[in-house]
Structure 1
Amino acid sequence: MSLATATRSETTKQFTTSLWWILAIVLLVYVGFTASVLAFVFSASSTGALPGNGPQIPSEGLAPVLYSSATSVGYVFPLLIGTLAVTSEFRHKTLTPTFLATPRRATVLVAKLVVGILLGVLYGIIGLVAAFAPSAAFLAGYGLDTEITSPDTWAMLARMLLAYVLWVFVGIGIGALVRNQVGAIVGVLVFTQFLEPVARAAASFVEGLSDVTKYLPGAASDALVGASVFAVSTATTGNASTPLEWWGGALVLLGYAVVFVVLGWLFSWRRDVS
């Protein structure tokens, strides 16, 4: 079976089940709600509309920070869809007929990565809409600059799409390496929602630690995008290191994807499947 045929087969697998659109809806709601809350609080704070002694957020550069919530809080969704794209096959035993139809297993893995580009762009667009619409609405409502016409904003949106694609690649690599679906999902959630955030928060209080944590995948993704809500929350401690350039963040995140895919190929993908 050729790569084109294998890619069509993998595309059919992804879009004939309900998993992709369920995750897409959750992504839309989760990012949209988070972006709305952040946009309200930050916009109101910037204009002094918050009652009491609320946090004082400068209005300059606020729009990119709010738009970046699509990746800073939503990156777990492309990571999950990439992981599930592989582990679901192990769980439901569909890899057996797949490998019988396509004996060259590398072709199957490459086809999944090709489909991963489509999934990354699709989820990226959903995430961007979910973050962009409420953020721009609140900014405009409070009389703040939405920066919609800025070339830098559109360049950042393009980098966010790239980040989504790279996160899908990372997920595919993790899924190829960790066959157990429950174990892979739990590992992904624990690392992205607990371990890395705690490590990055601790780095903001420990001098020199941020020089290490900036190479973590989430930090690399934020560097690629060029803005992050997380960076704003930790910038006041004084221990933050100089972040990676956007291309450096892209290379680091791509490096994680390559490492996981190669490890998955060497230690799991070539093993027998039942």
Structure 2
Amino acid sequence: MSRLVKSEFRKITTTHLWWALLIPTVLVAFGWAVGTGFLGTAFVDTLQDDAPRDLEIALGIDSRDWIVSYFAIARSINLATLFPLVFGALAISSEFSSKTITTTFLTAPNRVSALTAKLLVYIGWGAFYGLAIVAAVAIGILVSTDPDRMPTAGGWISMAMVGVLASILMTLFGVGAGALIRNVPAVVTLLILYFLAIENGAHFILTIHAPEVIGFLPNGSINGVTGSMAAELFLGAADTVPDWVDTAMRAAAGATGAHAWWLSGLIFVGWSAIVFGGGWMATQRRDIT
């Protein structure tokens, strides 16, 4: 198994794909963190003006202790993890397209060993991408957010933890999807369309009629990993936050209808297992040439 893992690792490091995808990953994470960080700071600063402050008092709200940067971090991580999703999708689909999967299967003791080695290697790469995303987001927040609106040390660690976890889970989901579909343009297009457009369109309808369902969908659950952690940290630091504000902030973090971060993670693991299991079975039965 160790030789198979080394072989899979070398397949990645001897190509340009890992760093070619890493560049836009970091740029998107940083850019969104800067943009959402500035917007969050401007929003809370606006609430400190006389008229909004009077309205806050009437509504029983005090935004002076709102650390809205948590939601900027969550939203930026969620968007940037689309790149490790694509990276994972190419793990097996690109080998079928280039027919190098024949060599992979013929030199391994069996297909189970080959796929297990890929799974282990891409868990590591998912963590690597996650660390890069978290670092880029942290720099973006430091640039765009006032010091008194920054997360606490514990908050940084918690968001970093769920950020890396989300990246690993998205990478593994991509690996499973690539094994199931096996056509590079098709799997990449389908994943991007689903996570950016199709399910978000469904979210718009479900938000009105059945918001609790959103947290059980793939995109809703993976967004809930970071979004729910952000909401938990936000509420822990704020003294007075009505339920409707909590709901609005979760929506801002892309986690409408999400469950607790750990439950959201488990739900997405379930989706990943279904997709990877289907890809595993399809790969086991497929003839190679």
Give TM-score, length-normalised by structure 2.
Answer: 0.82
Q: Distance in 2 between matches of 1:39 and 1:49?
A: 16
Structure (1 or 2) with the larger CA radius of gyration? 2
Distance 1:103 1:95 in 2: 14
1:102 corresponds in structure 2 to 108
**RMSD over aligned Cα atoms:** 2.6
Paired position in structure 2 for 1:53: none
- 1:246 alignment partner in structure 2: 261
Aligned in 2, Cα 1:15/1:84: closer, same or farther, shift over 3 Å? Answer: same
Counterparts in 2 of 1:145-164, with a 5 A limit?
A: 145-149=149-153, 151-164=154-167
- For 1:42 and 1:99, the matched residues in 2 are separated by 51
Percent identity, aligned pairs only, is 27
- What count of residue pairs does the alignment treat as equivalent? 259
> Aligned match of 2:78 in 72, 82, 95?
72
How big is the shift at 1:202? 2.5
**Contact 2:25-2:83 at 8 Å conserved across structures:** yes
Identify the residue that residue 5 of structure 2 maps to in structure 1. 7
In the alignment, is the contact (CA less than 8 A) between 2:67 and 2:150 conserved in 1?
no
1:258 paired to 2:252: no
Alpha-carbon offset, residue 29 of structure 1: 0.9
Q: Which residue of 2 aligns with 1:40?
A: 38
Matched AA of 1:266: M
Aligned position for 2:224:
223
Distance 2:123 2:88 in 1: 10
Unaligned 5+ segments in structure 2 are 49-55, 57-61, 232-246
Q: 1:31, 1:69 within 8 Å by CA — same for their partners in 2?
A: no
Say if 2:44 and 2:66, in contact at 8 Å, map to a contact too. no
CA contact (8 A) 1:43 1:144 kept: no
Contact 1:70 1:130 in 2 (8 A): no
The secondary structure found in structure 2 opposite 1:227 is helix
Cα distance in 2 between the residues matched to 1:84 and 1:38: 30
Contact 1:178 1:268 in 2 (8 A): no
Moved over 4 A (4+): 56-59
Q: Whole-Å Cα distance in 1 between the matches of residues 248 and 112 of structure 2?
A: 39
TM-score normalized with structure 1 length = 0.86
Q: Where in structure 1 are there 5+ consecutive unaligned residues?
A: 51-55
Partner deviation per Cα, 1:159-191 (whole Å, 9 max, x = no partner): 211111111111110011001111101110110
Q: Distance in 2 between matches of 1:33 and 1:245?
A: 27
